[in-house]
Amino acid sequence: MAKARRTRPSLYFSVDIEADGPIPGPYSMLSIGAAVAGRQDADGYTAADPEENTFYRELRPISTDFVPEALAVSGLDRERLRVEGAEPEAAVRDFTAWVRDAAAAAGAQPVMCGYPAAYDWTFLYWYLIRFTGESPFGHSGCLDMKTLYAAKAGLPLRAVAKGTMPRHLLSRRRHTHHALDDALEQADLLTNLMTWPGPGLSRP
């Protein structure tokens, strides 16, 4: 009789980045915020208090190019960051160490989560590979909360927006476009989605 394959636990990191353009390389990641949202194993999902284990850095821009509209979203000052921002290599090495320490303490594999994840993952993964040569999440350890909701709700992905979600799934925190604030907000959303049984099965 074959032995049951052991499920390796996952530790979910809610991550939000602010950048000054649409793609990394020509444009810069200016801040990164992250929070441990919860742990999942074969027995289910266990939420964490996202405020208990967080990470935040503001980074020096890597180019002179930027899109004013993108920069305005975050409200960050590029000129200040040119002087005060962390060197990108140091920032992402600190981030990697923080992720690995948290995952090791939880006995789990790290997974990056975002809403939507595509933009934040693109910048984060590019910076990790460019400045450290590796990613603590591997090349595919990424969970998109928008896709998670669409699958649970039985909706087409392009029909999904936070404004169409049941209110009880949304965080009570404000979305401020400060990377750490938004990572905390997203951590709440992830926990609510992970524990949501789906439409028609929700608690009153």
- Tell me the residue ranges of DSSP E strands in the chain: 10-19, 29-41, 44-47, 54-58, 109-114, 142-144
Alpha carbon distance 26, 65 (integer Å): 6
Closest CA to 180 of 30, 15, 13: 15
Alpha carbon distance 32, 59 (integer Å): 8
Which of 139, 168, 175, 177 is an active site residue?
Answer: 177
Terminal alpha carbon distance of the chain: 44
Catalytic residue check, 175: no
CA 8 to chain centre: 20
> Which positions are annotated as active-site residues?
177
